[in-house]
Homo-oligomer: A and B are copies of this chain.
Amino acid sequence: DILQQFAAYLRPPRLAGKQIVITAGPTFEPIDPVRFLGNHSSGKMGFALAAAAVDAGATVTLISGPVNLSTPKGVTRIDVTTATQMYSQAMQCIEACHIFIGCAAVADYRVAQPASQKHKKNSQPLSLSLIENPDIIAAVASAEHRPAMVIGFAAETENLATYAKTKLKTKKLDMIAANLVAQGKVFGSDQNALQVYWPDGERQLPLAPKTRLAQDLMDLITEHYHAKDTT
């Protein structure tokens, strides 16, 4: 604790007075009352970023999908299940927000017509019709009262740099943190590596515990925020 306080003394709170909104975890899209479409995001990276942002002196709102993690100290947490709910909560938060970090693995699609009763085997259709979910990070980055910094994540299984740079541009982000994922790797793991891109630069954050990686990424975000924010 004394070491932590000493570390805090060496690193003055560079985000004091700043509002940061972070999304984390997966979204679950209902098929019927008991079944859903999900993904393997554990939420660990988003929760570590929230803790790092509090350490940097920011006021932090964490919009979380269904995860099994405890809320970091000092963080205001809003729990959601679906992409539509996460979108709605995110849009309500952005007006007062200085930095928005979209770390959640938001489902791109939801089931067109979730059933109100559990599908029975002999009556269940053999295909699920899907419709597109709102693109939360693109909506935040294109909003009228857009936060000064909007940072996205790209979890890819191939073509990491290409996909990430395309998302950075088409979604009008200020920065994107990209990582390679595969089942059993990264998702759920306590370690990760990130390739971070912004419109005129990039940086490699090598394999490290997610808590350490979150601090390094938050430092990078803070530098960019202060360089951009002239108020």
Residues of A within 8 A of B (CB): 28, 30-41, 68, 105, 107-109, 116-121, 124, 126-132, 155-158, 163, 181-183, 187
Q: Which residues of B contact A181 (CB under 8 A)?
A: 33-34, 118
A34-B105, A108-B124 known, 10 other contacts, Cβ within 8 Å: A28-B38, A32-B157, A33-B183, A34-B183, A35-B37, A36-B39, A36-B40, A118-B158, A118-B181, A127-B129
Q: A interface, by DSSP: helix, strand, loop or mixed? A: loop
Whether the Cβ atoms of B183 and A30 lie closer than 8 Å is yes
Taking CB atoms, residues of chain B closer than 8 Å to A116 are: 157
Contact A155 B34 (CB under 8 A): yes
8 contacts between A and B (CB under 8 A): A28-B38, A33-B182, A33-B183, A36-B40, A37-B38, A68-B68, A127-B128, A127-B130
Complex Cα gap A105–B33 (Å): 13
* Chain B min CB distance to A184 (Å): 9
Q: How far is the CA of A81 from the CA of B107 in the complex (A)?
A: 20
